[in-house]
Structure 1
Amino acid sequence: MTGLRALKTLMILGSSVLGLAACGEPEPVRVGFIAGLSGAGADTGFAARNALLMAVDDVNANGGIDGHPVELVIRDDQKDGDIGRSHVDEFSSLNVAAIIGPIISSVGNAMLPAINEHQIVTISPTVSAFELSGKDDHLFRINSTTRDNAQSYALHQSRLGRKTIAIALDQANATFTNSWADEFTRAFTGYGGVVVGSVPFNNTAQIGFSLPAEQLLALQSDAILLVANSFDSAQLALQIRKRGATHPIIAAEWAASEQLIAMGGAAVEGMELLQSYDRNDQSAQFRSFAQAYETRFKARPGYTSVATHDAATMLFSGLKQQAQTGMPLRLALLQLRDIQGLQQPLNFDQYGDSQRKTYHVVIRDGQFVAP
């Protein structure tokens, strides 16, 4: 959709809402959604959007927020911090009640000053850079931090007997990848391991995946760790295997989507990852969600789907409490306790941070399975 068509559509929606309000219909509660919906790695953005659409349909089918329907305003941040920040300004002008998103930490870091300036409660399903945690601000996080996840990876690699590891770092999301690598290195060193070197890629001086693959192999490590999205992790794995290397390949949790397997094929067989949900959960609540998702979108829900649905669950619970008590939304969210998510109870600490249960998996026969 072109910018002009999108603007016309927004104007039409606005006119419709005004018309309904004039007829006595309740005003909608606008919720902004922001994620990368274009380019490499957009699968995680669409998976998040899809789950949010389902959550909005559910809450509206059950009376909305105190009788007011929820209306989504969806924006593509193009995985660019400047664009993300400009959308926060736009959301403020549209009087959104809150924002869900973004997906990656670099965009979240760039958005944060505008989020706090406009005092818009923003719940990110997946932002995890440690530097964004423990802050008294308007950014709430559903995900565990890079420290939590990287430490889990380091312990697992130590238990597998790996002593030396080389790391690839996607500089397009440096806020996340550099934080993740720092936390992993600190923890792995504590277990007696050595990070023999890191290879940055996706920067202005480097194009493609051949050179970083060769640089990683030249470091002569026991295993190779990719801190990148699903698309780039698949491409790096392809280049590593193309050169005949048999090193174990590990990928950070950011890569753990179905696109990794679809793009990587045989090259990602045996790849080790951490996931923030149990894709084989047989509980009635999760199976109902997963089946409805697959029926509607012809795909399995991914980790961003589950985390975004949980983010929406917390937001709608907070909005309902705000409507009942009149307290600011930020305070209402901080007071929520043990709200049931798709797979775990949901809580925010005093800083609006949360944690996820995690599961180590390996790719076998084109599936994520327990190791």
Structure 2
Amino acid sequence: MRSIRFLCAVFVGCLLLAACEESGPIKIGFIAGLSGPGSDAGTGALEALKLAAQQVNTDGGINGRMIEIIPRDDLKTPETAQNHVRELKRLGVDAIVGPIISSIGMAMLPVINELGVVTISPTISAADFAGFRDNLFRMNTTTRENARAYARRYIDLGLTRVALALDGQNQAFTDSWYREFLLEFDALDGLVISKIWINVNNVTHADAAAQLLADDPDAIVLITNSGDGASMAHEIRKLSPDIPLAAAEWAGSQALIELGGKAVEGMELVQAYDRYDTNPRFQQFIKDYSAMFAHQPGYTAVLTYDAATVLFAAMRAKHPEQSLADALTNLSPQQGLHQELVFDAFGDGNRAIYFVAIQDGKFIRVN
């Protein structure tokens, strides 16, 4: 009888535990750089996730369960990001949103696969992530599409000799971007006459600017974050006020303009969203985001809101016996802020891209 009573107690305890798990909050981890240079990208992403969660919670949650966001700062350090994944797993998160940069994604990948934590990155784009079935889902177009679009544009503009600055703190992205740009540019008879690594080996931005200009390029491309892009632009403009400048899509936040000032006027770059889109869904997002945070959303906010859209939709659609990864892969197309959102069989998404130029302190779309 004691054995029977014990087994009954265990059974009831398991039922109560399952009930608590089903009725408690849905925990979403968030990992991104939230401090230091370029942290505006991570902060904007976190804000968009908070907005999406608040809207879901206001509507009653997902199957009656509220969304709880647990943010962590990766400090742009691989080991820190890996430790955060392990911590968030222990805390029982249902999924992770992030990271923002590809080098951190590379560090997190083996850990999220080992622990089975579904992770959706709004922005990472190194081509090396594409075409693998794992627990990392990506919203963004890869460097293959983006960097090659830059190469074609500069050939069309007659800028056939370019120099590049590459950020050594996000080598997974910059290496991939450079490789794809070089392949397309070379095929179109363009020439990369020099490349300089920054944020490594104590190379100052002033020294890097001088080296980039030494071979008299037609244009300089900065494969950096917004803060370093702005700083490099200042140093380059001291030596060459008129040379055409471009920045990789990673730099395309409002901080680039705020920190760069006149030095970034005329700079071109790709963005993964159309800030002048008039569709009601996007305009309502801008209104809600601005009301909540008192400033306009940037590209990481737009892509993160879309990431939250598909994540929450998959959680609603998931059958009890179905994994979240399977639910995401088989999810019907969801309407995002600009376009339909869907993952392929490998968990890879795709975005339309738009060239913009900085004119009078604003991003203006160019043809």
Whole-angstrom distance in 2 between the partners of 1:25 and 1:226: 48
Q: Work out which of the residue numbers 168, 172, 180 in structure 2 matches 1:171.
A: 168
Matches within 5 A, 1:171-250: 171-203=168-200, 205-250=201-246
What is residue 283 of structure 1 aligned with on the other side? 279
C-alpha distance 25-370 of structure 1, shift in aligned 2 (>3 A): closer
Separation of aligned partners in 1, 2:188 and 2:306: 34
1:293 equivalent in structure 2: 289
Which residue of the partner structure matches residue 9 of structure 1?
none
CA displacement 1:198-257 (0-9 Å, x = unmatched): 100101x12431110111001321100000000000000000001134210010000000
Paired residues for 1:256-267 under 5 Å: 256-267=252-263
Per-residue CA deviations over 1:244-286 (Å, capped at 9, x if unaligned) read 3421001000000000000000000000110000001111111
Q: CA–CA distance in 1 between the matches of 2:22 and 2:342? A: 34
Query: Which structure is larger by alpha-carbon Rg, 1 or 2?
Result: 2
Alignment of 1:1-371 (within 5 A): 26-203=23-200, 205-322=201-318, 324-371=319-366
Q: Which amino acid aligns with 2:360?
A: D
In 2, the alpha carbon distance for the partners of 1:222 and 1:337 equals 46
2-side partners of 1:208 and 1:97: how far apart? Answer: 43
The AA in structure 1 aligned to 2:76 is K
Cα distance per residue 1:179-212 (max 9 Å; x no partner) = 1001000011111101111100101x12431110
Cα distance in structure 1, aligned partners of 2:288 and 2:204: 38
Distance 1:112 1:73 in 2: 19
Structure 1 letter corresponding to 2:263: A
Q: Distance in 2 between matches of 1:106 and 1:25?
A: 35
For normalisation by structure 2, the TM-score amounts to 0.93
The sequence identity of aligned pairs, in percent, is 47
Which digits, 9 at most, give the CA deviation of each residue in 1:144-192, with x for residues without a partner?
1011100111111111111111000000000000110010000111111
Q: CA RMSD in A?
A: 1.5
Instruction: Give the Cα separation in 2 of the matches to 1:83 and 1:50.
Output: 21
Counterpart of 1:179, as a letter, is: S
**In the alignment, residue 239 of structure 1 is paired with which amino acid?**
E
SS in structure 2 of the partner of residue 140 of structure 1: strand
CA distance in structure 2 between the aligned counterparts of 1:268 and 1:311, rounded to whole angstroms: 30
Q: 1:171 & 1:132 partners in 2: Cα distance?
A: 19
Per the TM alignment, residue 325 of structure 1 is displaced from its structure 2 partner at its CA by: 4.6
Structure 2 stretches of 5 or more lacking a match?
1-15
Residues 52-97 of structure 1: per-residue CA shift (max 9 Å, x gap): 0000011111221211111111100011111111101011111110
1:69 is aligned with what amino acid? M
Deviation at 1:124, TM superposition (A): 0.1
Letter in 2 for 1:366: G
One-letter amino acid of the counterpart of residue 277, structure 2: D
Mapped to 2, the partners of 1:30 and 1:296 lie a distance apart of: 21
Structure 1 CA distance, aligned partners of 2:187 and 2:242? Answer: 26
Distance (Å, rounded) in 1 between the aligned partners of 2:54 and 2:26: 13
AA of the residue aligned to 1:308: T
